[in-house]
Structure 1
Amino acid sequence: MSAMALSALGMASFTVPAVADDATSQDSTTVEQVSALVSDAATSAGVPATDFTADSPVSVTVPKDASDGIGVHGTDGSGFTVSAPVGVSVDGGVVAGDGSTVYAGAEGHPDVTVTPLESGVRISTVLWDDSQSTSFGYPLPEGIDGQIQPDGSVILTRALEVEADGVTSEVDAIVGQIEPAWAVDANGNAVPTNYALADGVLTQEVDTTDAAFPVVADPTWGLTGPLQVRVRWNRAETATIANGGWGATGLTAVCAAAGAAIAGPPGAAVLGAGCLATGGPAIYTAGVAQNSNPKRCLEGFLTYIPGVSVVVPWYGTYACK
C-alpha cells in the first residue's frame, strides 16, 4: 500500500506544471519553463497541435520584436500577418528549445509565447496574478474579416465581388480560421474564456475568478488547407433561386466566377461543375431560407482542391437584411 501511495504521489507530482509553484515568480521563471508551461496547458486543454517541421505546408515568421506581427503563409504565397496582443510587451523574444519564441512580460505585462505549428501559429498569454489584464485584443489582418461560429471558432475571409450573367454576387475567399478560445490554470483546470469581435478587433476575454495562477490563454491561427470561397446571395437573389428563376445554369455561372477569382480557369471549371451537379439542393435550401421567419438568405461553401476534378458544394442559410 505504501508503494502504491508513493507511486500515485509521483504521478500527481509529474502532472503538475513545473512552474506552478508558489515559490516561483514571473521574474525568476526561465524561458524553457514558460514554454513548458504553455505546452502542458495545451495538453490539459486537449488541443496539443502538430509541431512545425521543414515539411509543413505553412511557413511561420516569428520576429524577435513581434510588434509588427507574425507572418503565416502557405507554399502558394497565400496567407496573412497575425497581430500580437495589443498593449502587451512583445519585444526581445527568445527562442526556447521547443521552437517557440518567448516574450517576457515587462512592467506587469503577462508573458507571451508564439509557437509555429504545422497548420499555423499558436499565440499564448501567460497570466501570473490577478493584477494582469484578462482581455487581449488582436486586430484582424489587413483586408480580412472574421465571423465567430457556433462552436466558438472564427473563420477568416477576404471579400471579393464576382459578376456572372449581369449579376454581381458577394464572394468571400476563406483564408483561414482561429480555433475556439481556451484557457487553463496552474492545476490544469479549464478557465472560462470567449471571443468577442467588433470593429475589426478580435478580443479574448478570460475569467480568472477562482483560478490558480499562472493561467495560460490561447488563440491558435491557421491557414485554410484547400482553397475555399463562400458565396452569399442576397434576399432578392435567394427568392429568385427558390422560385427556379436561375436554375442550375445561373448558379453554375456564379460558382465558376467565384472559382476563377481564387484559382483561375481550373478553379472556374471545378467549382462551376460542382454547382451544376448540385443545383437541386441549392434551390431547395433557397426555399428553406425564403420560408424562414424571419427570412434568411442562401449561402454556399465551395472548395477547390488542386488535382481533384469534382467538388460538391455545401449549402446553408445566413441572417440577412
Structure 2
Amino acid sequence: MKIRPHTPLVASAVLLGLMASGTAPAYASLDTDPDQVAQTVAAVAPTELSAVDIHENEDHLSAPLTQGGEAVISRAASDGLTFSSDPGEQGTTISLPGASALSDAAVSADGSVTYAGNQQVPAVNVVASEDAVRISTVITSPSQPQEFAYDFGAGNSVEIQEDGSVVVVSDQPAAGSPETEVIVASIDAPWATDASGVPVATHYVAEGSVLTQVVEHRSGDTTYPVVADPTVDQPNIFQYRVRFDRAETAAIASGGWGGVVGSFSCGVMAPVCALATGSLAYNAGVAQNSSPKKCVQVTATQPMVVPGMVWWVDTYAGGPCT
C-alpha cells in the first residue's frame, strides 16, 4: 500500500466539513462515538493509513501484519497492545496512556479501534495497517494532560534518535550473539495537529522502557481537538543492530572490511557486515571526521543475508560510543 500525505489545507477542510454538517465530535462527553474519533484522526493525520481486517475474539482483537506478524489489540485498555513476529508467539506489549479511565475497545467503521475517553482523559484510536500501527490520542480541552506515556515493559530500553524517531531495544542480545542487539520497535518522529490543521509543538522523552510524548497544546492559540501519536513502523517489528565503539570505528575507517573483522564485533551479523563493507568503511570515516566524534552502526531486518532482508549503515552518539 502506498501511503499518501495529507496537506494541512485538505485536513482542515475535512474537519471543518464534519463540523458544518453537524457531525463534529463531542469529545467532552463521556459517551464518545468511536466513528467520530476515527474521523477526526483521519482528517489531520500526516499520512493516510488503511486498516487491515480486524479479527474479533472474546478478550482481544487481532490484526494480521506483513511477513506473518500480528498486532493484538486488547479489549480492555489496561492490557495494552502486543506485537509479535508470528501469531501466538510472545511479543512486545505497549501500555496505553490513561488506560485505567478508557472504555473497552470498539471497532470504528473505518476498521480502526477506539478506546473512548472522558473530560479528563483523551480517547485513544489505533489503526493497524500493513505498513504501520498508529496510536493516536485525541485531546479535547486544555484541562486534559500534556504528557502521554507508553511503556514497552521491563527488559526493553527506549532510545530517541537525532531525527526525533525512536528505537526500542531489548536488554537481551540476540541468542548466541552478545554483540548483536535486538530492536523490538521502530517509531516515527512525533507529530501533533490541531483541528485547524496547525502543528502543535511535541517531542518525545525517554526513561528506561517508557516513551512519553509531550504535546504542548496549552501554549499558543490551539483549536481543539488536537490529535497526536506515535506510529510504530511495519513490517519490521524486530530488527538487529551491531554498534561499534570509538576504537572499532577508527579501525573500520582505516582498514575497511579488515577493520570490521579485526573488531570481532559483528557476531551473528557477520554476513550483513560483509555485505555492508563499503558502507561501513565510508560511514566510519564520516564518524571519525565528525565533531564531536561519532561511531558507526549497522542495522538489518534479519541477521542473515536472505531474500527480502533490508539493511542500512549510519552513525550514532552515546551508548558504546564514549
Q: Classify the TM-score, shorter chain.
A: 0.7 to 0.9
- Contact map agreement 2:38 2:110 (CA 8 A) in 1: yes
Amino acid at match of 2:206: L
> Structure 1's 17 and 283: CA in aligned 2 closer, same or farther, altered over 3 A?
same
Distance 2:173 2:32 in 1: 51
- Contact map agreement 2:256 2:277 (CA 8 A) in 1: no
> Structure 1's 250 and 112: CA in aligned 2 closer, same or farther, altered over 3 A?
same
- Contact map agreement 2:84 2:237 (CA 8 A) in 1: no
> Structure 1's 17 and 206: CA in aligned 2 closer, same or farther, altered over 3 A?
farther
Amino acid at match of 1:308: P
Query: Which residue does the alignment assign to 1:200?
Result: 209
What's the CA shift string for 1:32-73, capped at 9, x where partnerless? 21221112121xxx2112321476424222222111211122
User: How high is the TM-score relative to the length of structure 2?
Assistant: 0.74
Query: Which residue does the alignment assign to 1:37?
Result: 40
With 145-154 and 126-135 compared, the bigger mean Cα shift is at: 145-154
- Contact map agreement 2:251 2:263 (CA 8 A) in 1: no
Moved over 6 A (4+): 20-23, 309-312
**Structure possessing the higher radius of gyration over alpha carbons:** 1
- CA shift at 1:118, angstroms? 1.8
Alpha-carbon RMSD: 3.7
Query: Which residue does the alignment assign to 1:82?
Result: 94
Q: 1:182 aligns with which of 164, 174, 191?
A: 191
Q: 1:60 aligns with which of 62, 66, 71?
A: 71
Query: Which residue does the alignment assign to 2:57?
Result: none
Partner SS, residue 18 of structure 1: helix
Distance 1:52 1:307 in 2: 27
Distance 2:173 2:28 in 1: 50
Aligned length, in residue pairs: 292
Partner SS, residue 62 of structure 1: strand
Amino acid at match of 2:140: W
- Of all paired residues, the percent bearing the same amino acid is 34
What's the CA shift string for 1:281-311, capped at 9, x where partnerless? 5345445544554443332224437742997
Q: 2:149 aligns with which of 134, 137, 156?
A: 137
- Contact map agreement 2:15 2:195 (CA 8 A) in 1: no
Tell whether 2:49 aligns with 1:49.
Answer: yes
- Contact map agreement 1:90 1:103 (CA 8 A) in 2: yes
With 300-309 and 125-134 compared, the bigger mean Cα shift is at: 300-309
Distance 1:240 1:12 in 2: 53
> Structure 1's 198 and 17: CA in aligned 2 closer, same or farther, altered over 3 A?
farther
Distance 2:175 2:75 in 1: 44
Amino acid at match of 2:118: A
Distance 2:144 2:126 in 1: 19
- CA shift at 1:225, angstroms? 2.5
> Structure 1's 120 and 141: CA in aligned 2 closer, same or farther, altered over 3 A?
farther
- Contact map agreement 2:92 2:152 (CA 8 A) in 1: no
Distance 2:26 2:316 in 1: 52
